Structure 1
């Protein structure tokens, strides 16, 4: 059998060659790693693993290291496609490797691909539920891809029932082909199919929500009954995506301001391309011959209000902050003040749950109708983009301070069913808030009028040119202004008219985030920093003087040399670096303390100009304030020495996010900062104490997870949407959160920034129960210690920070006098709190 012998010999030779190639490639890979040639090393490892899959476990860790190093290099070279190709090859070899999945997600997230990043983080957590990096990454990104209002809305039984009844009525009336625009979890589509619709289509743009909806349909045995499209409704074509025009469109693509999710644009397109024509007025025909939209229409309502909480987030109400004067020519505004023709489209309103806003609100006018819209009228919908602004004049019913116009709407689902988003209703909706900015005087009295222009351009409801007109002997000054002829009468009218158009005086406008404005209004924050900065700088100055005197008394030769080189009356400056997030005037406050060079890390040019104006208004020497990023070639090196022979006297870090969580990477920053401090220098804050308490709160539960099948009217949605719940509820305000305290506040954690390596990563805390009930959450907040005797409380009334809470998986029944043990873990600036049972 010569041929068999040859084949065996050939196989032996092949195997020997394979082993030799594997051995050579492994050696070459190792050699490349030693020379930091990660790209070539990666190629060698790919070859080895393709030739010898049995070696996967042996080289896994080295392969991961090589992959991550090569990916960093590709990222720095902007070779994005090559980077993703590398990860795809790696995941083909290690499809169930949570570390590679997590790293892939991190690259995607940095590049702005949040949906895709969430999918990889989610997979990593499923593969290893105890992998802390993947869990924290997933919790950070999931709020973007599955927004929290999904949970609140799905728990709103009343809202769900009204939509179900309206859809049921339409289907029973003959509207049997249905398109659900922006389906989310698919609940409206399932309502239609359950009502008896013959064909149901649904579209969803978000990849994460589309995949979630696919799972929901399968779980409810409707995956073969509803055709789900991963696309925008604007891209749907007939017959490419759906076979023919439908008779009914259902949608809830409405935000708190009604139009912000693009409902007008999508319905114009639907009427022109996807829906049967609307019912004509010339006679009755079968329902199947014409189209209809649910909701049928809406009425938008408004009300002028006084609200301290809105005011402090949108208007700077102080003229002096910790001894620093704000110049008259500098005007601060929040982003809602951005004009319509700005380069970037900015939402012209914020949103608030007015029934839970801290300090409450006071109505200054009766509620008034802003506009109505008929979603079944194509011509009306098309006219919104071109319609001229309409003017509204509303009488003031009660005197006060005009802080905002609040908007809500009544959604007319059909002739029988409506739902309201009014602040007086128990609803899942928040209200749209249009802060009033730019007035010379915001006070109003009964009989005055609030005037505004209403438009619906660029898919947003806009309230523009909000102004006030005062009454003069019962006469409306604005109306009489147009009738007066004499110069004296004209001047009198103008004197009584307050206008909200931009101020005419020459000035510098600076747009700040609402949290940055709240920070400027936080007087205790700046006073505490002023006291702490003064204490450190005074100590360091005295120390330097005593050292100088000591040296001078022991060395007249040194004293002579020193005077020859520089004026002994001019002390060396002390260096202060502020790397806190966003706009901060702390460097200017530091600059008030003598020979100081204060470095700000603000990036935006307009923010830098504003700080320069403040410095000039306070007569600071030009060199006092400097912008640190301008001194750096690489922004990642923001924490480094100011000069080769100098160290920082003070480094200011942001430790707490305004959301109520600890800032990412803060301990890494603290470790670097500690090495860059002058002897006696300080990191601010020096340490942070985290406090919490046990509470019973139904609101926390309803806002975090869908509660079974009851609120979703029997459909099985909860297990799928709840995959995207997170154990933290952020941006809470404890002063208005409905809850029952079941314990007193206790210290949960101490984070020491001056000794970052001394922090315990795990501790247990005993908590005494002071009231029987069911523990559903653990709200927490912080005391930020700049010095031992100088601290800030993030739960105080003046705080620009919000609070956060851990929401338990299941309520824990407790009795008065019992003790619960909380396990606190601190990992890479992330805190987890669990109850030991």
Structure 2
């Protein structure tokens, strides 16, 4: 049988060589059916075939054939974690999220070191349940204030309630406590409606009707008749961004009875001019960088994808100064349909006049709101209020052009209601150039930029020993090719670099022209569709690699390209940067981690939410801003391996310096640009690379002075995670045999052979 099976394997390889992948797949399956004993031997090449085949089927949208192939494969290899993970990725891609969850979970169950499957499972959880749900539900101020307002407003045994944007159903359960005639809850997310059903029924409430639908597509028949009380919390940091005006206008026309009302009753949005370099560098290119690039008068802002503001926890920015008085921008009466319609149709600007409080610069405008839930009860998101609700962040209108002001100066700004969402009016005298976040943050990382500039002289001397500067060719894959630009200015022959978007490419060209660099020397690759074949047979004197993602993770595609360039396209004796990248880890305790990844029932008025929502807790958290994360370090930082070449599983021992319950491992990188040159840490608030957190399933109790192991597990695909290996308690000291003349007593005091073997 094995000989016949091997013939099928040969046929399969021939079909693979001619790209007849479907036939090759069939041949492999026949071989394995004939002789199952050989299947593990040929599994790697079989899996390569099914990966290529399914990529082709996916491009042709042949889902049924794709999943049939996976079905056959998994029946042949039921415990193959790679196949389970691959199936999960396609299920995720095509929107079968529950099925994807199951396959990722099965892969992790078979091998907890399958990091890629774990990351994929986290992606499913993030998609199904937004992380802000945890923050919102853990906000006791919001929950208790809404509960009190609902109790003060609702008429027992008279009102019928509609909860729009119900989420986990908390507001509906608050209403249910007052025994209304009926409660109906609506949410656009299928996952959240299923979760709301679990939460309400788990709390013993069986008569709340929960519907999965888009409210603006429904009428009163869909909800069982018109309702007398509508409750909602469909607000974002900018108050109106979740289409609350459209939703409530539709509700007045379709859902609310003649005696109906809405909770909250009213809302008011406030704005203020501020200065914060730490805040604005996320959105605008800073003046020092523009001077370095010879574009001092260019307004360079983040590519906004039609977003008019961002959301931030403003109170965490230590350098933020309130430069003006606070102004009320918009007041809205949710119980007045005409007012809602007027806001929606308004084309005239909302004009605001600020009075400056001191001399200085205004480089951003921030906004927050008050919700007047009833005549007596209100909530605020004012960052300066100790009683603010932390369920919502504050709005940052990042396209404000920085301006220098004097004390008591009047500043006028216009805001518009654009499609039911507030926008800051454009300065007609200022043109804005847009670039990707990767470029903006890279160029605004002053410490890293200074380090790159500090390498130029040494690199020039080093490369000058190889050949004349006019012959030097460079590949710079940094978000912006600063090293390459500086070398071109010194006379280098050519540069190949990467721009994420066409807007970025236009920006690159502006900078090259401003520095009198001929564009004929520059080849700019755009997007991420290109691969290592684009480099052909070219060789480079210097290569600057970049595979660290903004979020703190490693971009495995870019790492493969960087290593390919380093090993196959670098001239002998050439310069590769960075010389080394080390991963640094530190065990911490952080309240922020707790409230953003787990719900605590005591925060939701003791309703049984945690059991259901905490199934969606994740084990990895990226995009951690070191300038904003509040935490307590339980150990010193320690290196847990390198990242420059192929990563392997590694570990490090570290002593606990402060006892307590650890709930995360905080990680960042130490980058050595050139050998024996100073290292730059990304564990800074102004770093262009964020930190990452690895979260244990349960908090780990640590004692001060004990030694623990941090383990960096790396799977075959290069994905990694860092875990705390709890200290193993020392074996108990053997009991001293009692002084006795009884030989049997002496024998009983000795360990048996079986016990020794077990130890």
Q: Is 1:607 matched with 2:590?
A: no
Q: Is 1:457 matched with 2:418?
A: yes
Q: CA 1:34/1:206 → structure 2, altered by over 3 Å: closer, same or farther?
A: farther
Q: Is 1:107 matched with 2:66?
A: no
Q: Where does residue 546 of structure 2 map in the other structure?
A: 654
Q: Where does residue 202 of structure 2 map in the other structure?
A: 219
Q: Is 1:370 matched with 2:297?
A: no
Q: Is 1:69 matched with 2:69?
A: no
Q: CA 1:513/1:226 → structure 2, altered by over 3 Å: closer, same or farther?
A: same
TM-score, normalization by structure 2: 0.84
Q: Where does residue 444 of structure 2 map in the other structure?
A: 521
Deviation at 1:433, TM superposition (A): 0.9
Q: Where does residue 159 of structure 1 map in the other structure?
A: 142
Number of residue pairs aligned between Structure 1 and Structure 2? 712
1-structure distance, mates of 2:271, 2:452: 41
Deviation at 1:97, TM superposition (A): 7.6
SS at structure 2 position matched to 1:406: strand
Do 2:8 and 2:31's aligned partners in 1 also have CA atoms closer than 8 Å?
Answer: no
Q: Where does residue 35 of structure 1 map in the other structure?
A: 15
Do 1:695 and 1:742's aligned partners in 2 also have CA atoms closer than 8 Å?
Answer: yes
Q: Where does residue 248 of structure 1 map in the other structure?
A: 229
Q: Which runs of 5+ in 1 are unaligned?
A: 1-19, 278-289, 337-343, 466-499, 546-570
Deviation at 1:263, TM superposition (A): 1.2
Which of 435, 450, 456 is the aligned partner of 1:512? Answer: 435
2-structure distance, mates of 1:365, 1:524: 31
Deviation at 1:372, TM superposition (A): 1.1
Do 2:81 and 2:111's aligned partners in 1 also have CA atoms closer than 8 Å?
Answer: no
Q: Where does residue 477 of structure 2 map in the other structure?
A: 579
Do 1:318 and 1:521's aligned partners in 2 also have CA atoms closer than 8 Å?
Answer: no
Q: CA RMSD in A?
A: 3.6
Q: CA 1:195/1:67 → structure 2, altered by over 3 Å: closer, same or farther?
A: farther
Q: Where does residue 302 of structure 2 map in the other structure?
A: 334
1-structure distance, mates of 2:101, 2:514: 51
2-structure distance, mates of 1:64, 1:231: 40
Q: Where does residue 812 of structure 1 map in the other structure?
A: 700
Which of 656, 664, 685 is the aligned partner of 2:578? Answer: 685
Q: CA 1:824/1:534 → structure 2, altered by over 3 Å: closer, same or farther?
A: same
Do 2:235 and 2:241's aligned partners in 1 also have CA atoms closer than 8 Å?
Answer: yes
Which of 149, 152, 167 is the aligned partner of 1:169? Answer: 152
SS at structure 2 position matched to 1:591: helix
2-structure distance, mates of 1:384, 1:180: 23
Do 2:246 and 2:344's aligned partners in 1 also have CA atoms closer than 8 Å?
Answer: no
1-structure distance, mates of 2:174, 2:660: 37
1-structure distance, mates of 2:134, 2:11: 53
Q: CA 1:117/1:366 → structure 2, altered by over 3 Å: closer, same or farther?
A: farther
Do 1:438 and 1:501's aligned partners in 2 also have CA atoms closer than 8 Å?
Answer: no
Q: Where does residue 283 of structure 1 map in the other structure?
A: none
Q: Is 1:638 matched with 2:522?
A: no
Which of 270, 284, 308 is the aligned partner of 1:315? Answer: 284
2-structure distance, mates of 1:220, 1:355: 36
Q: Where does residue 204 of structure 1 map in the other structure?
A: 187
User: What is the correspondence of 1:72-83 to structure 2 with a 5 Å cutoff?
Assistant: 72-77=55-60, 79=62, 83=66
Q: Which moved more, 1:386-395 or 1:526-535?
A: 526-535
C-alpha deviations, 1:385-437, integer Å up to 9, x for none?
Answer: 21122211121122221011111111122233211111023523211111253
Q: Where does residue 349 of structure 2 map in the other structure?
A: 389
Do 1:532 and 1:790's aligned partners in 2 also have CA atoms closer than 8 Å?
Answer: no
1-structure distance, mates of 2:367, 2:437: 19
Deviation at 1:615, TM superposition (A): 1.5
Q: Where does residue 164 of structure 2 map in the other structure?
A: 181
Do 2:546 and 2:559's aligned partners in 1 also have CA atoms closer than 8 Å?
Answer: no
Q: Where does residue 462 of structure 2 map in the other structure?
A: 539
C-alpha deviations, 1:147-195, integer Å up to 9, x for none?
Answer: 2211111111221122222233343355532222222222222223333
1-structure distance, mates of 2:208, 2:46: 44
2-structure distance, mates of 1:602, 1:54: 51
Deviation at 1:657, TM superposition (A): 2.4
2-structure distance, mates of 1:129, 1:242: 46
1-structure distance, mates of 2:158, 2:392: 29
Deviation at 1:71, TM superposition (A): 0.8
2-structure distance, mates of 1:591, 1:784: 24
TM-score, normalization by structure 1: 0.77
C-alpha deviations, 1:631-666, integer Å up to 9, x for none?
Answer: xxxx6553347453x312333332322223333445
SS at structure 2 position matched to 1:260: coil
User: What is the correspondence of 1:244-323 to structure 2 with a 5 Å cutoff?
Assistant: 244-277=225-258, 290-318=259-287
Deviation at 1:348, TM superposition (A): 0.7
1-structure distance, mates of 2:71, 2:264: 44
Q: CA 1:296/1:597 → structure 2, altered by over 3 Å: closer, same or farther?
A: same
Q: CA 1:317/1:243 → structure 2, altered by over 3 Å: closer, same or farther?
A: closer
Which of 210, 213, 234 is the aligned partner of 1:228? Answer: 210
C-alpha deviations, 1:101-139, integer Å up to 9, x for none?
Answer: 53244235567x595786466554675462332102222
Q: CA 1:761/1:698 → structure 2, altered by over 3 Å: closer, same or farther?
A: same
Q: Where does residue 360 of structure 2 map in the other structure?
A: 400
Q: Is 1:415 matched with 2:415?
A: no
Q: Where does residue 723 of structure 1 map in the other structure?
A: 615
2-structure distance, mates of 1:619, 1:381: 54
SS at structure 2 position matched to 1:447: coil
SS at structure 2 position matched to 1:401: strand
Q: CA 1:323/1:30 → structure 2, altered by over 3 Å: closer, same or farther?
A: same
Q: Where does residue 434 of structure 1 map in the other structure?
A: 397
2-structure distance, mates of 1:88, 1:183: 38
Deviation at 1:370, TM superposition (A): 1.2
Q: CA 1:799/1:714 → structure 2, altered by over 3 Å: closer, same or farther?
A: same
Q: Which has the larger radius of gyration?
A: 1
Q: Is 1:699 matched with 2:592?
A: yes
Q: CA 1:691/1:381 → structure 2, altered by over 3 Å: closer, same or farther?
A: same
SS at structure 2 position matched to 1:623: helix
Q: Which runs of 5+ in 2 are unaligned?
A: 728-759
2-structure distance, mates of 1:69, 1:576: 33
Q: CA 1:535/1:728 → structure 2, altered by over 3 Å: closer, same or farther?
A: same
1-structure distance, mates of 2:72, 2:342: 52
Deviation at 1:349, TM superposition (A): 0.8
Q: Where does residue 623 of structure 1 map in the other structure?
A: 520
Deviation at 1:816, TM superposition (A): 3.2
